[in-house]
Amino acid sequence: MIAIWDDHELANNAYVDGAENHQATCKANEASSAADQDKAGCDSGEGKYTDRMQAATKAYMEWMPIRRGAGTTGLVDTSITQIIEWGDLATIVGLDTRLKVRSKDPTIGLSFWASDVVVLATVNKNMSKWMESPLVGQFKAAAKVLQDARANESFAQLGSDQRQIMEDAFKASKAAGKPWQTFAAGTMMGPQATPNFAALPDVVGAALKPSAQAIVDGLHNALAFARQCTAGAMFEVPWNSDGFDGFSYERGLILESFKQHTNNPIVLGGDLHDSWAWTLFDGGVAQSGTPVAVNLGAPGVTAPGWGGSLSGMFQSAGSSMWDFIHKSFMAGNPGLKYASTKDKGFFAVKATKTRHVAEFYLINDNASAPASQPYTAKNYKDARTAGRLTAPYYCGTSLVTTAGSKGSLAEQASCEVVFQTGSWPAEWSTIKLPAYTIPATTAATAAAATTATATTAAAATTTTTKQATSSSKETSSASTTRSSSWRGILVASMLAGVALEVLGFAAEAPNLVSRN
């Protein structure tokens, strides 16, 4: 597995020497009232941050099947840098974006929701006046304050040393003629604009325009939150400063490096809980311009996202509800090519020399099924007792990036990634899982059966698909070479960061070089 941690393996909104929810000492205790605990943000002191991070990263390294690298990552005595050379097809670089250098201010401050843009949208209900003087000037000035603060040249998630590591790896990859350069990041690089409800009626089609206009007018009149979202999109102030939106200067440096030293850069990210796919433009701050890279954002498995907040606002849209919600996001963000906030799941990537296909697989009966969590909210024990360890899924979209066309994301009519032959079992009623403990007298037999089953499964996967597969979490420091002609499938799901689980290589290791 290639894996990169993010904050929730460590502490919420962690940065180089602290975290939003870490308090070395606490003004409340377990006997304090709920109000006092809420005010303090804790019910007990949590000790030294360094001790917490050492314990968290030690547990991570002991349990995650990744390569531990020599060196340090900020305060902790390990490196999570990893460089994977996938034959002559791709170079994958995973780097820490949490503990080594991450700046405090954009991580836990510089919030859009606390900005004067939100204040102005809250108190000015008559939106027809927003683009007139003097109000338009006030909105633009408030937006610029936050944009300039986030563009601070000292803010960093990677820092100069890690940026140089990635640039050197990608420069060599480009020189070697590899078509794909992939950056596995814990957070998103794409501008995370709030939904632009005001623009929705113009993007839903003539037949739906009247109903969309009526809904939007009602939302803007009744809800300050709706006006706040529209203002953020209109005046180009992304809401999430914890991602690269809060580190826009460094994002510009990375994209400039991609522009010069890659053939076709792909950025994989997580952290935002929903499904997203962007074309990243030159400079990163502007929402249009010369395409430079692709950013694929993996959804969470169970983490709540925008859908829970917005679905209630659009109930009157009926069957058009989710289409209205997702088009509102895309209307406020020209580089956003796909958005889905309804269902959780994962995305899969299939890469050849000429095409990079990203497909979002979402957990539900189908795309039209109501949003719910029956398949993802069960704990393991209950799911196992019920005989249900798999769930139905559907393909939300298939996006193609063509080699030689940086940043391209063209939606194709049907999905093509194959995970296995036959149908995926809805229930494991005929597949008996091993017992929690194996009696000593049968351990040898069970081990032999497990080995035989694993070998057969690996061989079947290799014979029928000749593809590699993957799932989501984080990374370490080492350089590994993969088959030059292997067609790769990487499956990513956002738990806190990004993980690429590479399967099928153990049985194939002796034949990797000649595989086609």
pLDDT in tens, 82-109: 999 999 999 999 999 998 999 999 999 9
Tell me which of 211-215, 356-360, 430-434 is least confident.
430-434
Place of tokens 């809904």: 215
- State the SS3 of 437-476: CCCHHHHHHHHHHHHHHHHHHHHHHHHHHCEEECCCCCCC
Let me know if 350 is exposed, middle or buried by CB neighbors in 10 A (0-12, 13-18, 19+): buried
Confidence of residue 490 (pLDDT cuts 50, 70, 90): low
Helix axes 116-123, 224-234, angle to 10 degrees: 130
Higher pLDDT, 421 or 30: 30
Cβ burial 233-248 (10 Å sphere, 16+ → b, else e)? bbbbbbbbbbbbbbbb
Helix axes 209-222, 224-234, angle to 10 degrees: 110
Check whether 6 has a pLDDT greater than 90: no
Q: What is the pLDDT of residue 296?
A: 97
Q: Kindly report the CA angle at 166 between 267 and 16, in degrees rounded to 5?
A: 85
The mean pLDDT of 66-80, rounded to a whole number, is: 77
Q: What is the pLDDT of residue 71?
A: 76
The mean pLDDT of 138-157, rounded to a whole number, is: 97
Q: What is the pLDDT of residue 174?
A: 98
pLDDT in tens, 300-330: 887 889 998 899 999 999 999 999 999 999 9
Higher pLDDT, 332 or 271: 271
- The pair of structure tokens assigned to 500 is 């690429």
Q: Which residues pair with 393 in a beta bridge?
A: 363
Quick one: residue 310, left, alpha or beta (phi over 0 = left, psi -120 to 50 = alpha)? alpha
Q: What is the pLDDT of residue 238?
A: 94
Q: What is the pLDDT of residue 379?
A: 66
Check whether 154 has a pLDDT greater than 90: yes
Check whether 224 has a pLDDT greater than 70: yes
Tell me which of 24-28, 63-67, 129-133, 429-433 is least confident.
429-433
Euclidean distance between CA atoms 315 and 323, whole angstroms: 12
The mean pLDDT of 2-24, rounded to a whole number, is: 88
Place of tokens 């020399």: 353
Q: What is the pLDDT of residue 149?
A: 97
Confidence of residue 498 (pLDDT cuts 50, 70, 90): low
Q: Which residues pair with 296 in a beta bridge?
A: 268, 277
The mean pLDDT of 221-248, rounded to a whole number, is: 96
CA atoms within 13 A on the CB side of 180: 31
Place of tokens 């100069």: 160
Residue type, 439: P
Q: What is the pLDDT of residue 422?
A: 55
The mean pLDDT of 198-217, rounded to a whole number, is: 95
Residue type, 501: E
Confidence of residue 388 (pLDDT cuts 50, 70, 90): low
The mean pLDDT of 373-383, rounded to a whole number, is: 65
**Mean confidence (pLDDT) of the chain:** 81
Check whether 78 has a pLDDT greater than 50: yes
Tell me which of 76-90, 180-194, 259-273 is least confident.
76-90
Cβ neighbours of residue 139 closer than 8 Å, sequence gap 6 or more: 117, 120, 130, 231, 234, 235
Residue type, 193: A
Higher pLDDT, 357 or 507: 357
180-184 and 265-269: which strand pairing? parallel
Q: Specify which of 200-204, 367-371, 467-471 reaches the highest per-range mean pLDDT.
A: 200-204
Q: What is the pLDDT of residue 509?
A: 26
Euclidean distance between CA atoms 359 and 346, whole angstroms: 9
Cβ neighbours of residue 484 closer than 8 Å, sequence gap 6 or more: 87, 88, 89, 513
**Is 179 in a helix, a strand, or coil?**
coil
Euclidean distance between CA atoms 66 and 402, whole angstroms: 31
Higher pLDDT, 429 or 498: 498
Q: What is the pLDDT of residue 489?
A: 52
pTM of the model: 0.82
Check whether 290 has a pLDDT greater than 60: yes
CA dihedral 148→150→151→153, nearest 10 degrees, is: 120
Confidence of residue 433 (pLDDT cuts 50, 70, 90): very low
Nearest to 341, CA basis, from 366, 305, 303, 296: 305
Q: Which residues pair with 85 in a beta bridge?
A: 91, 481
Q: What is the pLDDT of residue 377?
A: 59
- The pair of structure tokens assigned to 119 is 């204040």
Check whether 389 has a pLDDT greater than 50: yes
